[in-house]
Structure 1
């Protein structure tokens, strides 16, 4: 199916409800053919951004362009987009074929062209055997595929997905995720995917926009977000389990690198280069040392001591939840094939400081060299 490619641009877009500003001065440019995820917690404004793009919500100020054309005031049907919602919104009295054809019949497209598009989409999404069924005869995953098929037949400039996998069970969610990735590869179309699930965002998107209270915290490739989070918010939101944060105070730099002192008085030399004057001023306040669970490992010479509270066995890895003397809970990776410590036992943990990040009082990240 031929799809014209179109980039998307928000220029100084804001959204207000009365006195309440939910999106303040939002700017984002997406290249034609990209698969972009809008990722963030509930209430961060991601669905509002999508609905303004689709024309379902008016823009309070600013402008939106699709394929270089200003669509800010155009009705939804004239924007060249197709939207897939969390709720499938299929007509129960219509067959799958008629559900997929409905939007095209509304704009009085020729029946031969409608039939061609429906057949092509059904083949792509493996729906051929279901075309004469009604929605009540379909599983949740099949209904979601029909909803996606209804979007595909429009041959839009861009696809907008609003939490489309939330209603599916875990196994089906994984399978549908793969189908969406394959669909993007086949169509090459611009796709924008709203989710609060970082696994969906990380596995599907070329680049991810991490949103917090209507603002962009970071816009980067998935592994860039994971390995070099721009802020403490991104570091805590991307990655499962989340990054550990240990309160520290700055000490004099050692060998051109930041040194910090833990709450237990232990001095640590990180691999974070010494901060410039501006960053050093921010870093004079208390900071936090950020370490992923796989950078904290049980070891007799560890800098931290705590008690094992919970053991999470995940098959490919085992996580130890350890409570430190100051009451802080950290998550560490148990070494593979090592004897598992018993719950309630005291344990020492070594911090792999070459992989430690520092976060200043403003939440900005400072990374190892």
Structure 2
């Protein structure tokens, strides 16, 4: 337990100040600003190529910045070597030494800096107890499962007692069941250590279940930085609305109709007029109406009609993929055990109290 208190005492916040990254003439991070409070668990979430791993590598000192400054625990670390930054990094690849035991893998970095052997043993024993690796200390990586190896990699970071932990897609190589278990272990680890943790992932489930706040990245910029359910319920942009949520939000092209009682009214491609709960705003065409799949359900009558193309039976819910006459494919929730047949033409009810509108610039307008 002593280790947990010592790590907690050392935690520090992280700050990027106008950080940019260029490779030749190609700018991948134009100007990045983000502040992470001490002890937070933050996720950088976005598709491949959005710049999230580059930001992590610049923070760790593995990539030089092209402009701006980086601070950890209030200290400017922009020009410091990786080993002087007070951070520990866990990669997608475990990067364990195959000829070393678990004990030696965890102790290797500490021995490199000539730490006292008794202190090394104390830290390794504490991390092994925390991560349930005590019975595996004398095994070599080839004798471990994938999840055990990942725990060793995390333990190797824990023994450094860093100011911050950086995770670069550490669960990508694990199978689905093991990813779920390892997510729980990471959540428990954060609760025990109360350390600052930064988690880079393209997997929204990982981000939504682990992070206190999520920065959704797109082309080197933050689209929105918010708590998980705020991203889901009130996405700032069309990009966030389409990226966060599984399955993604449905988007339907619409045009404005005369406002009703200060609320936006819109017209679907089939001519149906819908009265939303979105406060009226000035806009240019085109607009899109956004609805989560659970706000779209089969009904005897509804403003949408389409043909059921695919049925996804997920156990706790059933999803219908419905092709509309204008070629737009939408996903709707089906009542349990009352699903229509594939090829059937059905009507869909729309819960307009939960409908969002997105303007031509991609900005979201929410129901009030």
Superposition deviation, residue 19 in structure 1: 0.2
> How high is the TM-score relative to the length of structure 2?
0.98
Equivalent residue, structure 1, for 2:216: 210
Distance 1:181 1:46 in 2: 21
Equivalent residue, structure 2, for 1:360: 359
Q: Say if 2:152 is the partner of 1:146.
A: yes
Q: C-alpha deviations, 1:221-248, integer Å up to 9, x for none?
A: 0000000000000000000000000000
Q: Which runs of 5+ in 1 are unaligned?
A: none
Q: Say if 2:60 is the partner of 1:54.
A: yes
Equivalent residue, structure 1, for 2:348: 349
Distance 1:284 1:75 in 2: 50
What does residue range 1-369 of structure 1 map to in structure 2 within 5 Å?
Answer: 1=3, 2-3=6-7, 4-275=10-281, 280=282, 283-337=283-337, 339-369=338-368
Distance 2:256 2:109 in 1: 61
Superposition deviation, residue 251 in structure 1: 1.1
Contact 1:22 1:45 in 2 (8 A): yes
Q: C-alpha deviations, 1:82-104, integer Å up to 9, x for none?
A: 00000000011110000000000
SS at match of 1:358: strand
> How high is the TM-score relative to the length of structure 1?
0.98
Distance 1:300 1:94 in 2: 66
Superposition deviation, residue 327 in structure 1: 1.1
Distance 1:363 1:294 in 2: 22
SS at match of 2:173: coil
Superposition deviation, residue 335 in structure 1: 1.7
Distance 2:184 2:25 in 1: 42
Q: C-alpha deviations, 1:37-69, integer Å up to 9, x for none?
A: 000000000000000000000000000000000
Q: Which runs of 5+ in 2 are unaligned?
A: none
Superposition deviation, residue 255 in structure 1: 1.0
Give the aligned CA root-mean-square deviation in angstroms. Answer: 0.5
Distance 1:175 1:168 in 2: 10
Superposition deviation, residue 336 in structure 1: 2.6
Distance 1:317 1:197 in 2: 21
Q: C-alpha deviations, 1:11-56, integer Å up to 9, x for none?
A: 0000000000000110000000000000000000000000000000
Q: C-alpha deviations, 1:129-180, integer Å up to 9, x for none?
A: 0000011111111000000000000000000000000000000000000000
SS at match of 2:118: helix
Distance 1:336 1:143 in 2: 41
Distance 1:134 1:274 in 2: 64
Superposition deviation, residue 284 in structure 1: 2.5
Distance 1:106 1:183 in 2: 25
Distance 1:272 1:309 in 2: 31
Distance 1:43 1:218 in 2: 17
Distance 1:44 1:231 in 2: 16
Distance 2:216 2:267 in 1: 31
Contact 1:250 1:284 in 2 (8 A): no
Distance 1:332 1:94 in 2: 52
Q: C-alpha deviations, 1:180-204, integer Å up to 9, x for none?
A: 0000000000000000000000000
Superposition deviation, residue 301 in structure 1: 1.8
